[in-house]
Amino acid sequence: MSTLKIDNLYVSVEDKLILKGINLVVNTGEVHALMGPNGNGKSTLLSAIMGHPKYRIEKGSIFLDNIDILALSVDERSKAGLFLGMQYPTEVSGVTNADFLRAALNSHLEKPISLFKFIKQLDKEVEKLKMKPDLAHRYLNEGFSGGEKKRNEMLHMNLLKPKFALLDEIDSGLDVDALQIVSDTINEMRSEHFGAIIVSHYERLFDLVKPTHVHILVDGKIVKSGNQELVTKIDTEGYEWIKEELDIDIINESI
Amino acid sequence: MNNEIPVNEEYEYGFYDKDVDVYKTAKGINEDVIKEISKQKNEPEWMLAFRLKAYQHFINTKMPEWGADLSSLNFDDFTYFIKSTKKQTSNWDNVDTTIKDTFNKLGLLDAEKEHLGGISTQYESEVVYHNMLKEVIEKGVIFLDTDSALREYPELFKKYFNTVVPYTDNKFAALNGAVWSGGSFIYVPKNVTLDKPLQSYFRINSEEMGQFERTLIIVDEGADVHYVEGCTAPVHAKDSLHAAVVEIIILKGGKCRYSTVQNWSNNIINLVTKRALVKEHASMEWIDGNIGSNITMKYPACLLAGEYAKGTTISIAVASHNMYLDAGSKMIHLAPHTSSNIVSKSIARHGGKVNYRGLVSINNKALNSKAKVECDTLLLDDISTSDTIPNNIVKNNKSYIEHEATVSKVSEEQLFYLQSRGLTIEQATEMIIMGFIEPFTRELPMEYAVELNQLIKMEMEGSIG
């Protein structure tokens, strides 16, 4: 079993403090749902764990077992077993998805995978995700639809087999069929060797991927933790009740 | 101009040979030097007269006042003619061992065996080795060094020489006219298609040497040829000058592709005039890679002179420390239904300067013509610079030019994305750069694309941090 332990984490962006003391322990075998109104720090938390240079760590620590994650570069974090499935995967022109994936996969392996073996594995995963076969050979995310990008993130996760996946609104912009495929992919990954933190606004995802833990993040802090019932309550009642229950102000940038 | 030793210590081809020359002219240029070159080559009278006329034009023409600063170029510093072998050969065993070793190190002997229909290697001023496949000869293709072509095919030579790039075109075309030596002469007969490319390789060995090859390619009606040239030079403390002229004539329905990977060391001043005359339904493609040199000014051009003629330039330029690359392309539309496409990719790092300078002109007779220009620049740091200087002119209202230009940096988001999947920052940067120039590399034959990728990777090492 592995453990991802976030301790008293403070993170700022362009001198604005976003995360104000996050404490979170995720073990492999667990799936943590992270919910909360927009603009309260959910994406910031995931990006900061992965090491995005825009986010400055002011205080606190992140450990993957006994590895000090904050001391590692982004690629070292990936090699240590972290994976960030992005909300808006970036496009890279001229680099094919397959070439990039092979380089990424090789960076995780001691001995490079043979081209033949790689293509076989890739084709299998592409089929499982019901992706168009040519997506593997098109330029990375270029001209992909929103849904194709998300499925492509799942493809990357599947091949890289992280210990902990950080999935940022992986369900946004997906139709019912695609949502099912993405959920199946995550569920298939679930084991005692895999844990996840999943950010989403929607109950429909957490109906398909049942979280073991649910947290609500407001104004840079986890203000409430619970189980799946919390998801249902948010889906029906929104976040207003938390404000009253905890007597806090909620920033909601989407309003 | 360039007194410090270039900093790029990774330049793989920077070694130089001891002097192997059998004859060279005295330093500097004057009428005696020109007469001596002509005498050495045992040329017809008309060529000497041409050289002297070109020389007069050279001394009466001002330096270009745009692009790189050439004010410290002193024409008396250079040696204009160095002969390295008494006799050209088609057997490597007869080539001076020093020279043969050099070309072997450059990978030419292997390339000849595997990929080429014919090869010509020029060392300093003249071609030292020349050979072509039997099946290419049997098709009636003429592939010679230009000096030999003047002797062996005087009529064909005279008919086309100086017709596309006249010596009056610019100062360096005039200089080339006066002292030209070596280069390739190709004639592809009607409807002949060559499966394998023909290649020339140009090597400058000495410092303060001037290389002035002259290439003339004639593609007859319906014929098709791919010509590849490569060039390198040693790393010296003092500059050498490379001022070539390339003239191409493509007759009705013919096709020519001219691929260059210019990899001069950082002490070469590279001022080249390349131009193709493209007749009806014919097509010209310039695949032009500029990785090295101290200064490069080069704008491969197409004169689209017949209906439905087509011109394409796909180029990359990579400028590093102490480099000034001013490159681009010219497309001159002279007939109806002509089309042209320019794709230019420029990269600058370590304070290098890279400009795109181009001209697209659609004249009043070139009705229903279209042109597209796309120039993208990637800056790898804050001290490198770039300018885009397009010049687009349409003189009739039935034609149009599309122009797109971007200047970008390797973005933080792209790097983060690639790194988050396990690539180091160096690998990620390299991958983004390779992707950026992919429109160029995909046009190169496989083996050159691989070589080019290696070169760029070498050039990019240490780009980060």
Q: Cβ–Cβ of A160/B421 closer than 8 Å? A: yes
Query: What pLDDT is attached to residue B99?
Result: 84
Query: What pLDDT is attached to residue B465?
Result: 33
Select from B412, B425, B435 the Cβ nearest to the Cβ of A95: B435
Q: How far apart are the first and last CA of chain B?
A: 29
Nearest to B225 by CA among B341, B163, B140: B140
Instruction: Check if the beta carbon of residue B182 is closer than 8 Å to that of residue B126.
Output: yes
Structure tokens at A162: 């992280």
Q: Cβ–Cβ of A74/B416 closer than 8 Å? A: yes
CA dist A67 and A84 (Å) reads: 18
Nearest to B179 by CA among B203, B214, B151, B231: B214
CA dist B54 and B65 (Å) reads: 20
Q: Which position has the higher pLDDT, A247 or A231?
A: A231
- Phi, psi at A205, each rounded to 5°: -70, -45
- Phi, psi at A198, each rounded to 5°: -120, 120
Determine the distance in angstroms separating the CA of B422 from the nearest CA of chain A, rounded to an integer. 4
Q: Cβ–Cβ of B423/A53 closer than 8 Å? A: no
CA dist B369 and B402 (Å) reads: 11
Nearest to B329 by CA among B390, B376, B377: B390
- Say if A149 is an interface residue toward chain B (CB within 8 Å): no
CB atoms within 10 A of CB B245: 29
Determine the distance in angstroms separating the CA of B378 from the nearest CA of chain A, rounded to an integer. 13
Instruction: Check if the beta carbon of residue B452 is closer than 8 Å to that of residue B441.
Output: yes
Nearest to B244 by CA among B315, B297, B173, B186: B173
- Which residues are within 8 A (CB) of B159 and not within 5 positions of it... i.e. 6 or more apart? none
Determine the distance in angstroms separating the CA of A150 from the nearest CA of chain B, rounded to an integer. 14
Q: Indicate the burial class of B300 (C-beta count within 10 angstroms; 0-12, 13-18, 19 or more).
A: buried
Interface test with B, best of A43, A92, A109, A161 (most B CBs within 10 A): A92
Instruction: Check if the beta carbon of residue A77 is closer than 8 Å to that of residue B419.
Output: no
Q: B413 contacts in A (CB within 8 Å)? A: 90
Q: How confident is the model at residue A173 (pLDDT cuts 50, 70, 90)?
A: confident
Query: What pLDDT is attached to residue B459?
Result: 65
- Say if A78 is an interface residue toward chain B (CB within 8 Å): yes
Q: A139 contacts in B (CB within 8 Å)? A: 435
- Residue A220: left (phi > 0), alpha (psi -120 to 50), or beta? left
Instruction: Check if the beta carbon of residue A48 is closer than 8 Å to that of residue A19.
Output: yes
To the nearest 10°, the Cα dihedral for A41, A46, A52, A55? 30
Distances (CA, A) of B249 to B54, B191, B277, B337, B385: 21, 15, 5, 19, 36
Determine the distance in angstroms separating the CA of A81 from the nearest CA of chain B, rounded to an integer. 10
User: 3-state SS of A129-162?
Assistant: CCCCHHHHHCEECCCCCHHHHHHHHHHHHHHHCC
CA dist A64 and A76 (Å) reads: 12
Instruction: Check if the beta carbon of residue B306 is closer than 8 Å to that of residue B335.
Output: yes
CA dist B298 and B326 (Å) reads: 7
- Say if B367 is an interface residue toward chain A (CB within 8 Å): no
Whether the CA torsion A181, A185, A190, A194 is positive or negative: it is: negative
CA dist A84 and A87 (Å) reads: 9
Give strand pairing partners of A59.
A10
Q: Cβ–Cβ of B422/A89 closer than 8 Å? A: no
CA dist B413 and B435 (Å) reads: 15
Q: Which position has the higher pLDDT, B247 or A38?
A: B247
Q: Cβ–Cβ of B424/A73 closer than 8 Å? A: yes
Query: What pLDDT is attached to residue B5?
Result: 38
Structure tokens at B41: 């080559």
Q: Cβ–Cβ of B434/A95 closer than 8 Å? A: yes
DSSP B161: T
Average pLDDT, chain A: 93
- Say if A92 is an interface residue toward chain B (CB within 8 Å): yes
**Collapsed DSSP state (helix, strand, coil) of residue B257:** strand
- Residue A149: left (phi > 0), alpha (psi -120 to 50), or beta? alpha
Q: A90 contacts in B (CB within 8 Å)? A: 411, 413-414, 416-417
Q: A53 contacts in B (CB within 8 Å)? A: 412, 416
Give the mean model confidence (pLDDT) for residues A59-69: 97
Query: Could you state, in order of their start, the residue ranges of all structural domains in chain A?
Result: 3-93+160-246
pTM, to two decimals? 0.83
Determine the distance in angstroms separating the CA of A160 from the nearest CA of chain B, rounded to an integer. 8
CB atoms within 10 A of CB B2: 17
Instruction: Check if the beta carbon of residue A217 is closer than 8 Å to that of residue A35.
Output: yes
**Collapsed DSSP state (helix, strand, coil) of residue B228:** strand
Class of domain A3-93+160-246: alpha beta
Q: Cβ–Cβ of A107/B422 closer than 8 Å? A: yes
Query: What pLDDT is attached to residue B129?
Result: 83
Query: What pLDDT is attached to residue B4?
Result: 39
Q: How confident is the model at residue A76 (pLDDT cuts 50, 70, 90)?
A: very high
Instruction: Check if the beta carbon of residue B178 is closer than 8 Å to that of residue B52.
Output: yes
- Which residues are within 8 A (CB) of B125 and not within 5 positions of it... i.e. 6 or more apart? B81, B82, B83, B84, B181, B182, B211, B212
Q: B421 contacts in A (CB within 8 Å)? A: 78, 83, 100-101, 104, 107, 156, 160
Query: Angle B22-B28-B32 (CA atoms, 0-180°, nearest 5)?
Result: 80
Distance of CA B215 to the CA centre of its chain: 10
Structure tokens at A2: 């592995």
CA dist B273 and B267 (Å) reads: 19
CA dist B293 and B273 (Å) reads: 16
Task: Number of A to B CB contacts under 8 A, please give it.
Answer: 84
- Say if A56 is an interface residue toward chain B (CB within 8 Å): no
- Say if A108 is an interface residue toward chain B (CB within 8 Å): yes
Nearest to B173 by CA among B201, B213, B209, B208: B213
Tell me the Cα Rg of chain A.
18
Q: Chain A: residue nearest B427 by CA?
A: A103
| Rounded mean pLDDT for each run of 10 residues along chain B, 465 residues in total | 43 77 88 94 95 97 90 90 84 86 82 82 83 88 94 96 96 97 95 91 84 96 94 80 96 96 87 97 95 92 98 94 94 98 94 95 97 94 92 96 91 94 93 90 75 70 48
**pLDDT tens digits, one per residue of A10-25:** 999 999 999 999 999 9
Looking up tokens 């403070």, which residue turns up? Answer: A10
Instruction: Check if the beta carbon of residue A33 is closer than 8 Å to that of residue A76.
Output: no
DSSP codes joined into one string, B336-365: TT-EEEEEEEEEE-TT-EEEEEEEEEE-TT
CA dist B211 and B428 (Å) reads: 39
Q: A160 contacts in B (CB within 8 Å)? A: 421-422
Looking up tokens 């496409």, which residue turns up? Answer: B341
Whether the CA torsion B9, B457, B459, B442 is positive or negative: it is: positive
Give the mean model confidence (pLDDT) for residues A169-195: 93
